[in-house]
Amino acid sequence: MRLASLAMYTAPTPIAVANDALWAYVRDRLRQSGMDGVPDSLDRDVVYDQAWLRPDLLLAQTCGFPFVKKLRGRVRLLATPVYGFPGCDGPLNRSKIIVAKDSPARTLDDLRGLTAAINEPGSNSGSNLFRAAIAPLATNGRFFASVVETGGHVASIDAVASGKADVAAIDCVTFGNIGRFDPGRLAGLRVLAETPEGPGLPFITSSETTDEELALMRRILDEVAAAPSLADVRDVLSLRRFEVLSEDAYQRLADLEQQAIALGYPAVA
C-alpha cells in the first residue's frame, strides 16, 4: 500500500473528520480509475514531515518553505488548495500577527523588546513570513527580547493567550479554523497586523509518481472542488478549489528569507 497523509491541518476535530471524507472520495475515484495500492485511510501514525520523501508517498500536504528549501526537485507538486478565509488570496496566504486584546501594541514597532512565539524555525507561516514582516524593523539582528518555540500554531495561540508570549504569527487557515470551531481559544486575542503573502501549503506526491498518475490525481482534485456530495466537506474545510502552481512560484518564500538575511535578520530573534 502507498501512503496518504494530510497532517498539516487536523484540528479542531471537524477538520480531521472532513479530511477523512475528502480522502475517501479521492481513494474511491483512484480505485475506480484502476490505480493499485491506494490505502483505505489516511495514515495518522507517520510524523508529517517524515511522509514527504517516502518513495511510496501517494498524497501529502507540506509547508511551502520546506518545499522550496528541501523538497523541490525531490517530490512532485500536485496542486495548492485555495481556502476561503481572510488572508487567503487565491493560492497565496498571509499569517495573522496576533497579540492579547489588552496589549498596548498598535504597530509592529511596538512589539520591540517583547517575547515572540514561533511554532518552529522551518515553518513558512509561523516563522519565515513573520521574519519578513519584522526584518525591516530589526537592529543588529535583534528585535524581540526572547523567542519561544511552541511546536505548533495552536500552541502558539495558547502561548499568547496565556501570557507566555506577547506575539505570534498564525497562518490564515489555522486562524480561520480555530475561529470557526474553537472560537473561545481566540477570545482574549486580536490581530495586530498581517505578514507578507506567499504560496500556500501544496499537496505533493512522490517523485516516483508517473505523469499519468499525476494527471489523474489532479483531475480528481478538480472533482473534489465541485462534487455535490462533498459540499459539506468543502464548507468545513473552507476549501474553494485547487490551483496548479509551478515550482518556481514557491521561490518567493526563499526570496523572503534572503531579503531578511540581507537586512541582517536571519532568524526571528
Q: What is the pLDDT of residues 155-194, one digit of tens each?
A: 999 999 999 999 999 999 999 999 999 999 999 999 999 9
Residues 84 and 104 in one domain: no
Domain that holds residue 148: 93-197+255-262
Total count of domains within the chain: 2
On whether residue 165 sits in a domain, the answer given is: yes
Q: What is the pLDDT of residues 118-145, one digit of tens each?
A: 999 999 999 999 999 999 999 999 999 9
Residues 224 and 143 in one domain: no
% of the chain surpassing 70 pLDDT: 100
On whether residue 127 sits in a domain, the answer given is: yes
Residues 123 and 73 in one domain: no
- Please compute the mean of the pLDDT values over residues 85-98 and round it to a whole number: 97
On whether residue 267 sits in a domain, the answer given is: no
Q: What contacts 133, CB < 8 A, 6 or more positions away?
A: 97, 108, 169, 193, 194, 195, 196
Strand ranges in 105-264 using DSSP code E only, listed in sequence order:
115-118, 146-149, 167-171, 189-194, 198-199, 203-206, 239-243
On whether residue 141 sits in a domain, the answer given is: yes
Residues 30 and 70 in one domain: yes
**Whole-prediction pTM:** 0.96
DSSP annotation of 55: T
The rounded mean pLDDT for the chain is 98
On whether residue 114 sits in a domain, the answer given is: yes
Residues 7 and 135 in one domain: no
Q: What is the pLDDT of residues 13-35, one digit of tens each?
A: 999 999 999 999 999 999 999 99
Assign residue 123 the CATH number of its domain. 3.40.190.10
* Tally of CB atoms within 10 A around 224: 23
Confidence of residue 256 (pLDDT cuts 50, 70, 90): very high
Residues 183 and 203 in one domain: no
- Please compute the mean of the pLDDT values over residues 104-121 and round it to a whole number: 98
Confidence of residue 44 (pLDDT cuts 50, 70, 90): very high
In this prediction, residue 48 carries a pLDDT of 86
DSSP annotation of 139: B
**What are the backbone dihedrals phi and psi of residue 28, each rounded to the nearest 5 degrees, phi first?**
-65, -40
Residues 109 and 75 in one domain: no
On whether residue 268 sits in a domain, the answer given is: no
On whether residue 60 sits in a domain, the answer given is: yes
Q: What is the pLDDT of residues 194-236, one digit of tens each?
A: 999 999 999 999 999 999 999 999 999 999 999 999 999 999 9
On whether residue 193 sits in a domain, the answer given is: yes
Residues 184 and 236 in one domain: no
